[in-house]
A and B are shown apart, each in its own frame.
Chain A
Amino acid sequence: MPTIQGALGPGFQIVILYLLLSNAGHANDFSYLRENDANGNVWEIRLATASPPLNQIHSWYISAFNSEGHPLTDLTLSISGGMRAHGHGLPTTPKVSAEISPGIYQVDGIKFQMWGEWQVQSELTDQHGNTVGNHEFEFILAP
Protein backbone atom coordinates (compact mmCIF):
# COMPACT_ATOMS: atom_id res chain seq x y z
CA MET A 1 0.00 0.00 0.00
CA PRO A 2 1.59 3.31 -1.04
CA THR A 3 1.66 6.19 1.36
CA ILE A 4 -0.49 9.26 0.90
CA GLN A 5 2.52 11.10 -0.42
CA GLY A 6 3.31 8.19 -2.65
CA ALA A 7 -0.13 8.14 -4.19
CA LEU A 8 -0.64 11.65 -5.41
CA GLY A 9 2.43 13.52 -4.28
CA PRO A 10 4.86 12.40 -6.98
CA GLY A 11 2.53 13.48 -9.76
CA PHE A 12 2.14 16.99 -8.45
CA GLN A 13 5.75 17.15 -7.37
CA ILE A 14 6.92 16.22 -10.84
CA VAL A 15 4.87 19.03 -12.33
CA ILE A 16 6.06 21.59 -9.81
CA LEU A 17 9.67 20.42 -9.93
CA TYR A 18 9.68 20.51 -13.71
CA LEU A 19 8.32 24.02 -13.73
CA LEU A 20 10.84 25.18 -11.16
CA LEU A 21 13.84 23.58 -12.83
CA SER A 22 12.88 24.53 -16.35
CA ASN A 23 12.99 28.22 -15.56
CA ALA A 24 14.49 28.73 -12.18
CA GLY A 25 15.15 32.43 -12.71
CA HIS A 26 11.49 33.41 -13.02
CA ALA A 27 8.81 34.01 -10.45
CA ASN A 28 6.24 31.32 -9.87
CA ASP A 29 4.13 33.17 -7.39
CA PHE A 30 4.03 36.91 -7.25
CA SER A 31 1.94 39.91 -6.43
CA TYR A 32 4.87 42.21 -7.18
CA LEU A 33 7.59 42.04 -9.80
CA ARG A 34 10.41 44.50 -10.44
CA GLU A 35 12.69 44.17 -13.46
CA ASN A 36 15.04 46.36 -15.49
CA ASP A 37 14.90 46.60 -19.24
CA ALA A 38 17.94 46.85 -21.52
CA ASN A 39 17.85 50.66 -21.39
CA GLY A 40 17.92 50.87 -17.61
CA ASN A 41 14.23 51.63 -17.15
CA VAL A 42 12.63 49.98 -14.13
CA TRP A 43 9.36 48.13 -14.68
CA GLU A 44 7.08 46.95 -11.90
CA ILE A 45 3.89 44.89 -11.76
CA ARG A 46 1.53 44.98 -8.82
CA LEU A 47 -1.42 42.65 -8.39
CA ALA A 48 -4.30 42.71 -5.95
CA THR A 49 -3.88 38.96 -5.41
CA ALA A 50 -1.00 36.84 -4.16
CA SER A 51 -0.38 35.53 -7.67
CA PRO A 52 -2.10 35.85 -11.05
CA PRO A 53 -5.30 33.80 -10.78
CA LEU A 54 -6.06 31.07 -13.32
CA ASN A 55 -9.15 31.54 -15.51
CA GLN A 56 -10.14 34.85 -13.92
CA ILE A 57 -10.10 38.27 -15.48
CA HIS A 58 -8.12 40.63 -13.31
CA SER A 59 -6.11 43.85 -13.36
CA TRP A 60 -2.42 44.64 -13.32
CA TYR A 61 -0.80 47.89 -12.24
CA ILE A 62 2.30 48.46 -14.35
CA SER A 63 4.79 51.12 -13.35
CA ALA A 64 7.71 52.37 -15.39
CA PHE A 65 10.54 54.66 -14.29
CA ASN A 66 13.70 55.72 -16.06
CA SER A 67 17.15 54.96 -14.69
CA GLU A 68 17.07 58.20 -12.68
CA GLY A 69 13.83 57.24 -10.99
CA HIS A 70 11.56 59.60 -12.90
CA PRO A 71 8.21 58.11 -13.91
CA LEU A 72 7.62 57.47 -17.60
CA THR A 73 4.43 59.48 -17.65
CA ASP A 74 1.84 60.85 -20.09
CA LEU A 75 2.54 58.01 -22.47
CA THR A 76 0.48 55.31 -24.12
CA LEU A 77 0.95 51.82 -22.71
CA SER A 78 0.16 48.83 -24.87
CA ILE A 79 0.04 45.25 -23.62
CA SER A 80 0.24 41.93 -25.40
CA GLY A 81 1.18 38.48 -24.31
CA GLY A 82 0.82 34.76 -24.67
CA MET A 83 2.52 31.41 -24.31
CA ARG A 84 5.37 31.29 -26.78
CA ALA A 85 5.83 27.56 -26.32
CA HIS A 86 2.21 26.95 -27.28
CA GLY A 87 2.01 29.51 -30.07
CA HIS A 88 -0.99 31.33 -28.71
CA GLY A 89 -1.67 34.77 -27.26
CA LEU A 90 -3.70 35.89 -24.29
CA PRO A 91 -7.33 34.74 -24.31
CA THR A 92 -8.39 38.33 -23.76
CA THR A 93 -7.60 41.79 -25.10
CA PRO A 94 -6.42 43.75 -22.07
CA LYS A 95 -7.09 47.47 -22.02
CA VAL A 96 -5.25 50.25 -20.25
CA SER A 97 -7.96 52.08 -18.36
CA ALA A 98 -5.96 54.89 -16.78
CA GLU A 99 -2.61 56.26 -15.66
CA ILE A 100 -3.73 56.30 -12.05
CA SER A 101 -0.68 58.29 -10.88
CA PRO A 102 2.46 59.42 -12.71
CA GLY A 103 4.06 56.41 -14.36
CA ILE A 104 1.56 53.87 -12.95
CA TYR A 105 -0.84 52.42 -15.50
CA GLN A 106 -3.90 50.29 -14.69
CA VAL A 107 -4.39 47.42 -17.14
CA ASP A 108 -7.77 45.64 -17.02
CA GLY A 109 -8.89 42.44 -18.69
CA ILE A 110 -5.84 40.27 -18.16
CA LYS A 111 -6.52 36.54 -18.03
CA PHE A 112 -4.48 33.35 -18.14
CA GLN A 113 -6.27 30.13 -18.98
CA MET A 114 -3.39 27.66 -18.72
CA TRP A 115 -0.67 26.71 -16.30
CA GLY A 116 2.84 27.20 -17.64
CA GLU A 117 5.24 29.81 -18.94
CA TRP A 118 3.71 33.12 -20.01
CA GLN A 119 5.22 36.21 -21.56
CA VAL A 120 3.64 39.66 -21.27
CA GLN A 121 5.03 42.50 -23.38
CA SER A 122 4.62 46.12 -22.32
CA GLU A 123 5.44 49.07 -24.54
CA LEU A 124 5.24 52.80 -23.84
CA THR A 125 4.95 55.15 -26.79
CA ASP A 126 4.79 58.93 -26.99
CA GLN A 127 2.20 60.99 -28.85
CA HIS A 128 4.12 60.55 -32.11
CA GLY A 129 4.13 56.78 -31.77
CA ASN A 130 7.81 56.59 -30.88
CA THR A 131 8.77 53.86 -28.43
CA VAL A 132 9.96 55.30 -25.12
CA GLY A 133 10.46 51.94 -23.42
CA ASN A 134 9.48 48.33 -23.69
CA HIS A 135 9.90 45.22 -21.61
CA GLU A 136 8.85 41.60 -21.59
CA PHE A 137 7.82 39.99 -18.33
CA GLU A 138 8.19 36.23 -18.28
CA PHE A 139 6.82 34.08 -15.51
CA ILE A 140 5.52 30.65 -14.65
CA LEU A 141 1.90 30.23 -13.66
CA ALA A 142 1.94 27.13 -11.50
CA PRO A 143 -0.63 25.27 -9.39
Chain B
Amino acid sequence: MACATCHIPEHYFTDGRPLPIVATNTSLSELPTRHTPTVVGAALHRWQFWDGRAESLWAQALGPLENPLEHNSDRLAIVRYVLNEYRLSYLQAFPNSESTLPKLERLPEHGSPLSHVAEYQTNWRQLSGEQRSEINHVFANIGKALAAYQAKILPDESRFDRFVDGLNLPTDNQSLSYLDLHEQAGLKLFISEQTGCIQCHNGPLFSNSDFQATLSSAEIIPEREGRVAGIALAHADPFNCRGIYSDAPDSCDELDFAKVNGIELQAAFKVPGLRNVAKTAPYMHDGGFASLSEVLRYYNQAPMHGFSHNELQPLRLQPYQLKQLESFLVALNSELITDAYWLTPPTPPSQGDNS
Protein backbone atom coordinates (compact mmCIF):
# COMPACT_ATOMS: atom_id res chain seq x y z
CA MET B 1 0.00 0.00 0.00
CA ALA B 2 1.27 3.46 -0.90
CA CYS B 3 0.03 6.89 0.16
CA ALA B 4 -1.36 7.16 -3.38
CA THR B 5 -3.43 3.99 -2.88
CA CYS B 6 -5.97 6.18 -1.08
CA HIS B 7 -4.78 9.67 -2.03
CA ILE B 8 -5.21 9.11 -5.76
CA PRO B 9 -4.06 12.04 -7.90
CA GLU B 10 -6.80 11.43 -10.49
CA HIS B 11 -9.39 11.68 -7.70
CA TYR B 12 -8.00 14.97 -6.43
CA PHE B 13 -5.88 12.98 -3.97
CA THR B 14 -8.86 11.19 -2.43
CA ASP B 15 -10.08 7.64 -3.04
CA GLY B 16 -13.64 8.34 -4.15
CA ARG B 17 -14.92 5.82 -1.62
CA PRO B 18 -16.94 6.37 1.56
CA LEU B 19 -14.30 4.57 3.60
CA PRO B 20 -10.81 3.48 2.57
CA ILE B 21 -9.73 0.00 1.60
CA VAL B 22 -7.94 -1.97 4.30
CA ALA B 23 -4.37 -3.23 4.14
CA THR B 24 -4.50 -6.76 2.73
CA ASN B 25 -2.00 -8.10 5.23
CA THR B 26 -3.72 -6.86 8.37
CA SER B 27 -4.81 -9.35 10.98
CA LEU B 28 -7.37 -6.99 12.43
CA SER B 29 -11.04 -7.60 11.81
CA GLU B 30 -12.15 -4.02 12.45
CA LEU B 31 -12.91 -1.65 9.60
CA PRO B 32 -11.86 1.94 9.04
CA THR B 33 -14.36 4.55 10.15
CA ARG B 34 -12.93 7.74 8.66
CA HIS B 35 -13.26 8.95 5.10
CA THR B 36 -10.03 9.70 3.19
CA PRO B 37 -9.54 13.49 3.03
CA THR B 38 -7.74 15.18 0.17
CA VAL B 39 -4.06 16.00 0.43
CA VAL B 40 -4.46 19.13 -1.69
CA GLY B 41 -3.88 22.14 0.54
CA ALA B 42 -3.41 19.92 3.59
CA ALA B 43 -0.20 21.73 4.48
CA LEU B 44 -2.21 24.90 5.10
CA HIS B 45 -4.42 23.33 7.76
CA ARG B 46 -3.41 23.83 11.37
CA TRP B 47 -4.53 20.37 12.47
CA GLN B 48 -4.43 17.05 10.68
CA PHE B 49 -6.71 14.02 10.73
CA TRP B 50 -10.46 14.37 11.14
CA ASP B 51 -10.04 14.62 14.91
CA GLY B 52 -6.89 16.77 14.82
CA ARG B 53 -4.68 14.19 16.51
CA ALA B 54 -1.63 15.64 14.72
CA GLU B 55 -0.76 19.32 14.72
CA SER B 56 1.69 19.17 11.84
CA LEU B 57 1.64 17.54 8.45
CA TRP B 58 4.87 15.68 9.18
CA ALA B 59 3.45 14.18 12.38
CA GLN B 60 0.33 13.23 10.45
CA ALA B 61 2.35 11.47 7.76
CA LEU B 62 3.73 9.04 10.33
CA GLY B 63 0.34 7.80 11.52
CA PRO B 64 -0.88 5.83 8.49
CA LEU B 65 2.53 4.14 8.05
CA GLU B 66 2.08 2.22 11.32
CA ASN B 67 -1.70 1.98 11.31
CA PRO B 68 -2.61 -1.71 10.99
CA LEU B 69 -5.57 -0.80 8.79
CA GLU B 70 -3.51 1.40 6.47
CA HIS B 71 0.13 0.74 5.53
CA ASN B 72 0.34 -1.80 8.37
CA SER B 73 4.09 -1.42 8.57
CA ASP B 74 6.34 -0.76 11.55
CA ARG B 75 8.84 1.90 12.41
CA LEU B 76 11.96 -0.17 12.07
CA ALA B 77 10.91 -1.67 8.74
CA ILE B 78 10.10 1.78 7.34
CA VAL B 79 13.39 3.30 8.50
CA ARG B 80 15.26 0.27 7.14
CA TYR B 81 13.49 0.56 3.77
CA VAL B 82 14.25 4.27 3.36
CA LEU B 83 17.88 4.01 4.45
CA ASN B 84 18.48 0.98 2.23
CA GLU B 85 16.71 2.28 -0.86
CA TYR B 86 17.08 6.06 -0.60
CA ARG B 87 20.16 6.63 1.55
CA LEU B 88 21.74 9.22 -0.74
CA SER B 89 18.53 11.18 -1.12
CA TYR B 90 17.99 11.01 2.63
CA LEU B 91 21.44 12.37 3.40
CA GLN B 92 21.00 15.13 0.84
CA ALA B 93 17.72 16.14 2.42
CA PHE B 94 19.01 15.82 5.98
CA PRO B 95 22.73 16.67 5.81
CA ASN B 96 25.03 16.01 8.75
CA SER B 97 22.82 13.20 9.96
CA GLU B 98 25.03 10.30 8.88
CA SER B 99 26.81 9.94 12.21
CA THR B 100 23.53 9.52 14.07
CA LEU B 101 21.90 7.05 11.71
CA PRO B 102 20.85 3.81 13.38
CA LYS B 103 23.18 0.84 12.87
CA LEU B 104 20.69 -1.25 10.94
CA GLU B 105 22.83 -4.37 10.90
CA ARG B 106 22.57 -4.60 14.68
CA LEU B 107 18.81 -4.14 14.77
CA PRO B 108 15.91 -6.57 14.31
CA GLU B 109 13.93 -6.47 11.06
CA HIS B 110 10.81 -5.17 12.74
CA GLY B 111 9.98 -3.10 15.78
CA SER B 112 7.57 -0.43 16.90
CA PRO B 113 6.04 0.80 20.14
CA LEU B 114 2.66 0.94 18.40
CA SER B 115 2.59 -2.36 16.55
CA HIS B 116 -0.26 -4.77 17.22
CA VAL B 117 2.27 -7.60 16.68
CA ALA B 118 3.55 -8.54 20.13
CA GLU B 119 6.96 -9.57 18.80
CA TYR B 120 7.51 -6.17 17.20
CA GLN B 121 6.63 -4.43 20.44
CA THR B 122 9.01 -6.68 22.33
CA ASN B 123 11.75 -5.91 19.81
CA TRP B 124 11.19 -2.22 20.39
CA ARG B 125 11.31 -2.53 24.16
CA GLN B 126 14.60 -4.39 23.97
CA LEU B 127 16.30 -1.57 22.09
CA SER B 128 18.40 0.91 24.03
CA GLY B 129 17.14 4.44 24.50
CA GLU B 130 19.80 5.70 22.10
CA GLN B 131 18.77 3.19 19.42
CA ARG B 132 15.11 4.15 19.74
CA SER B 133 16.01 7.81 19.50
CA GLU B 134 18.10 7.25 16.37
CA ILE B 135 15.28 5.32 14.73
CA ASN B 136 12.71 7.91 15.75
CA HIS B 137 14.83 10.71 14.31
CA VAL B 138 14.91 9.03 10.90
CA PHE B 139 11.21 8.16 11.19
CA ALA B 140 10.39 11.81 11.97
CA ASN B 141 12.51 12.95 9.03
CA ILE B 142 10.61 10.58 6.74
CA GLY B 143 7.44 12.33 7.90
CA LYS B 144 9.04 15.71 7.21
CA ALA B 145 10.02 14.62 3.69
CA LEU B 146 6.47 13.38 3.02
CA ALA B 147 5.09 16.65 4.36
CA ALA B 148 7.49 18.69 2.22
CA TYR B 149 6.18 16.90 -0.86
CA GLN B 150 2.55 17.33 0.13
CA ALA B 151 3.12 21.02 0.75
CA LYS B 152 3.67 21.35 -3.00
CA ILE B 153 0.21 20.01 -3.78
CA LEU B 154 -1.90 23.15 -3.83
CA PRO B 155 -5.01 24.30 -5.69
CA ASP B 156 -4.79 26.85 -8.48
CA GLU B 157 -7.15 29.80 -8.89
CA SER B 158 -10.82 28.96 -9.29
CA ARG B 159 -13.38 30.98 -11.23
CA PHE B 160 -14.50 32.33 -7.86
CA ASP B 161 -11.01 33.75 -7.25
CA ARG B 162 -10.97 35.43 -10.66
CA PHE B 163 -14.42 36.85 -9.94
CA VAL B 164 -13.26 38.34 -6.63
CA ASP B 165 -10.01 39.62 -8.13
CA GLY B 166 -12.03 41.26 -10.88
CA LEU B 167 -14.25 43.03 -8.38
CA ASN B 168 -11.17 44.49 -6.77
CA LEU B 169 -9.80 45.56 -10.14
CA PRO B 170 -12.32 47.90 -11.79
CA THR B 171 -10.48 47.76 -15.11
CA ASP B 172 -11.33 44.06 -15.45
CA ASN B 173 -14.52 44.19 -17.47
CA GLN B 174 -14.65 40.42 -17.61
CA SER B 175 -14.92 39.87 -13.86
CA LEU B 176 -18.66 39.27 -13.74
CA SER B 177 -18.47 36.64 -16.43
CA TYR B 178 -16.36 34.37 -14.25
CA LEU B 179 -19.47 33.39 -12.26
CA ASP B 180 -22.86 33.11 -13.91
CA LEU B 181 -25.91 34.60 -12.21
CA HIS B 182 -26.83 31.26 -10.70
CA GLU B 183 -23.39 30.93 -9.12
CA GLN B 184 -23.44 34.55 -7.95
CA ALA B 185 -26.75 33.89 -6.22
CA GLY B 186 -25.12 30.85 -4.59
CA LEU B 187 -22.23 33.01 -3.41
CA LYS B 188 -24.65 35.47 -1.83
CA LEU B 189 -26.31 32.60 0.01
CA PHE B 190 -22.92 31.25 1.05
CA ILE B 191 -21.94 34.49 2.78
CA SER B 192 -25.41 35.24 4.11
CA GLU B 193 -26.39 35.23 7.76
CA GLN B 194 -29.18 32.79 6.92
CA THR B 195 -26.88 29.96 5.88
CA GLY B 196 -23.94 30.82 8.12
CA CYS B 197 -21.64 28.82 5.82
CA ILE B 198 -18.75 31.22 6.38
CA GLN B 199 -18.98 30.73 10.13
CA CYS B 200 -16.84 27.64 9.65
CA HIS B 201 -15.93 27.67 5.95
CA ASN B 202 -13.91 30.88 6.02
CA GLY B 203 -10.34 31.76 5.04
CA PRO B 204 -8.33 30.90 1.92
CA LEU B 205 -9.24 27.21 2.00
CA PHE B 206 -12.85 27.85 3.07
CA SER B 207 -12.06 26.22 6.40
CA ASN B 208 -11.31 27.75 9.78
CA SER B 209 -9.26 24.63 10.61
CA ASP B 210 -11.43 24.16 13.67
CA PHE B 211 -13.68 21.31 14.71
CA GLN B 212 -17.43 21.11 14.51
CA ALA B 213 -20.01 18.53 15.49
CA THR B 214 -22.05 18.06 12.34
CA LEU B 215 -23.89 15.11 13.87
CA SER B 216 -24.20 13.60 10.44
CA SER B 217 -23.53 10.13 11.82
CA ALA B 218 -25.51 8.50 14.60
CA GLU B 219 -22.89 5.70 14.68
CA ILE B 220 -20.64 7.50 17.09
CA ILE B 221 -19.89 7.75 20.80
CA PRO B 222 -19.60 11.51 21.33
CA GLU B 223 -17.68 11.28 24.60
CA ARG B 224 -14.93 9.23 22.97
CA GLU B 225 -14.75 10.38 19.37
CA GLY B 226 -13.91 13.50 17.49
CA ARG B 227 -11.87 16.40 18.74
CA VAL B 228 -12.19 15.35 22.38
CA ALA B 229 -10.11 12.25 21.54
CA GLY B 230 -7.91 13.95 18.96
CA ILE B 231 -6.53 16.66 21.22
CA ALA B 232 -5.59 14.12 23.89
CA LEU B 233 -3.73 12.09 21.27
CA ALA B 234 -2.01 15.22 19.96
CA HIS B 235 -0.69 16.03 23.43
CA ALA B 236 0.49 12.44 23.94
CA ASP B 237 2.20 12.23 20.54
CA PRO B 238 6.03 12.10 20.90
CA PHE B 239 6.17 13.63 17.40
CA ASN B 240 4.20 16.73 18.34
CA CYS B 241 5.43 20.31 18.30
CA ARG B 242 6.86 20.07 21.82
CA GLY B 243 8.64 16.78 21.21
CA ILE B 244 12.38 16.34 20.79
CA TYR B 245 11.94 15.68 17.05
CA SER B 246 10.25 19.02 16.44
CA ASP B 247 12.06 21.76 14.51
CA ALA B 248 10.09 24.51 16.24
CA PRO B 249 9.52 23.51 19.87
CA ASP B 250 9.21 27.15 20.92
CA SER B 251 6.38 27.93 18.49
CA CYS B 252 3.62 25.65 19.68
CA ASP B 253 0.77 28.03 20.43
CA GLU B 254 -1.86 25.90 18.71
CA LEU B 255 -0.93 22.88 20.81
CA ASP B 256 -0.28 24.82 24.01
CA PHE B 257 -3.54 26.73 23.98
CA ALA B 258 -5.87 24.18 22.37
CA LYS B 259 -8.98 23.45 24.36
CA VAL B 260 -8.76 19.95 25.81
CA ASN B 261 -12.25 19.48 27.19
CA GLY B 262 -15.72 20.84 26.72
CA ILE B 263 -18.88 19.42 25.28
CA GLU B 264 -18.30 21.15 21.94
CA LEU B 265 -15.29 18.89 21.38
CA GLN B 266 -17.42 15.75 21.47
CA ALA B 267 -18.13 14.22 18.06
CA ALA B 268 -16.53 17.32 16.54
CA PHE B 269 -14.53 16.79 13.34
CA LYS B 270 -12.28 19.06 11.34
CA VAL B 271 -13.98 21.53 9.05
CA PRO B 272 -12.84 20.49 5.58
CA GLY B 273 -11.80 23.03 3.00
CA LEU B 274 -14.16 23.54 0.07
CA ARG B 275 -11.80 24.14 -2.81
CA ASN B 276 -12.53 21.49 -5.42
CA VAL B 277 -15.10 20.01 -3.08
CA ALA B 278 -17.16 18.93 -6.10
CA LYS B 279 -14.30 16.58 -7.03
CA THR B 280 -14.05 14.85 -3.65
CA ALA B 281 -17.29 12.94 -3.16
CA PRO B 282 -18.35 11.26 -0.98
CA TYR B 283 -18.46 13.60 2.00
CA MET B 284 -18.21 14.07 5.77
CA HIS B 285 -15.86 12.35 8.24
CA ASP B 286 -17.47 8.99 7.59
CA GLY B 287 -18.14 9.41 3.87
CA GLY B 288 -21.82 9.15 4.69
CA PHE B 289 -23.14 11.43 1.95
CA ALA B 290 -22.63 10.48 -1.68
CA SER B 291 -23.15 13.90 -3.26
CA LEU B 292 -23.01 17.61 -2.56
CA SER B 293 -26.77 17.81 -2.89
CA GLU B 294 -27.12 15.22 -0.12
CA VAL B 295 -24.84 17.27 2.12
CA LEU B 296 -26.80 20.45 1.45
CA ARG B 297 -30.11 18.67 2.04
CA TYR B 298 -28.77 17.48 5.38
CA TYR B 299 -27.73 20.97 6.46
CA ASN B 300 -31.05 22.31 5.22
CA GLN B 301 -32.89 20.02 7.61
CA ALA B 302 -30.23 19.67 10.37
CA PRO B 303 -31.85 16.83 12.32
CA MET B 304 -30.94 16.60 16.00
CA HIS B 305 -29.92 12.91 16.45
CA GLY B 306 -30.42 13.33 20.20
CA PHE B 307 -26.93 14.64 20.94
CA SER B 308 -26.79 17.08 23.82
CA HIS B 309 -24.62 19.58 21.95
CA ASN B 310 -25.85 20.78 18.60
CA GLU B 311 -24.88 23.98 16.85
CA LEU B 312 -26.55 23.19 13.54
CA GLN B 313 -29.55 25.22 12.58
CA PRO B 314 -31.75 24.26 9.62
CA LEU B 315 -30.90 26.50 6.66
CA ARG B 316 -34.55 26.59 5.53
CA LEU B 317 -33.58 27.18 1.92
CA GLN B 318 -35.86 26.52 -1.03
CA PRO B 319 -34.84 23.77 -3.47
CA TYR B 320 -33.75 26.32 -6.09
CA GLN B 321 -31.54 28.02 -3.50
CA LEU B 322 -29.88 24.72 -2.63
CA LYS B 323 -29.07 24.34 -6.32
CA GLN B 324 -27.64 27.86 -6.39
CA LEU B 325 -25.48 27.07 -3.37
CA GLU B 326 -24.29 23.86 -5.00
CA SER B 327 -23.45 25.65 -8.24
CA PHE B 328 -21.33 28.12 -6.28
CA LEU B 329 -19.45 25.25 -4.67
CA VAL B 330 -18.75 23.80 -8.11
CA ALA B 331 -17.32 27.20 -9.11
CA LEU B 332 -14.57 26.58 -6.53
CA ASN B 333 -13.13 23.89 -8.80
CA SER B 334 -9.64 24.44 -10.14
CA GLU B 335 -6.63 22.60 -11.42
CA LEU B 336 -3.57 22.08 -9.24
CA ILE B 337 -0.88 24.75 -9.23
CA THR B 338 1.69 22.02 -8.69
CA ASP B 339 4.40 21.49 -11.30
CA ALA B 340 3.85 18.31 -13.34
CA TYR B 341 7.23 17.02 -12.17
CA TRP B 342 5.76 16.43 -8.72
CA LEU B 343 2.77 14.60 -10.12
CA THR B 344 4.76 12.09 -12.15
CA PRO B 345 5.52 8.77 -10.45
CA PRO B 346 9.21 8.48 -9.59
CA THR B 347 11.63 5.92 -10.97
CA PRO B 348 11.44 2.74 -8.87
CA PRO B 349 14.24 2.70 -6.29
CA SER B 350 15.97 -0.29 -7.90
CA GLN B 351 16.67 1.93 -10.92
CA GLY B 352 17.21 5.07 -8.92
CA ASP B 353 19.76 6.13 -6.32
CA ASN B 354 20.08 2.79 -4.61
CA SER B 355 23.32 2.70 -2.68
Contacts and interface: CB of A to CB of B under 8 A. Distances in A.
Q: Is the interface of A mostly helix, strand, loop or mixed?
A: mixed
Interface in B193-223: 193, 198-200, 202-203, 208-211
B244 to A, nearest CB: 23
B191 interface: yes
16 contacts: A2-B176, A7-B176, A7-B184, A8-B167, A11-B187, A11-B188, A11-B191, A54-B203, A87-B309, A89-B259, A113-B208, A113-B210, A114-B208, A115-B198, A116-B199, A143-B198
Contacts of B253: 57, 108-109
B191 A12 contact: yes
A91 B181 CA distance: 37
Interface in A61-118: 86-95, 108-109, 111, 113-116
Interface residues of B, number: 34
A2 B163 CA distance: 14
A24 interface: no
A32 B110 CA distance: 59
A143 B184 CA distance: 19
The size class of the interface chain A forms with chain B is: 20 to 34
Given A55-B209, A109-B253, A89 B176 contact: no
Nearest to B208: A113
Contacts of A1: 176
A15 interface: yes
The 7 closest A-B CB pairs, nearest first, are A109-B257, A11-B188, A92-B257, A88-B264, A113-B210, A57-B253, A113-B208
A4 B170 contact: yes
A8 B264 CA distance: 33
Nearest to A58: B253
A8 B176 CA distance: 9
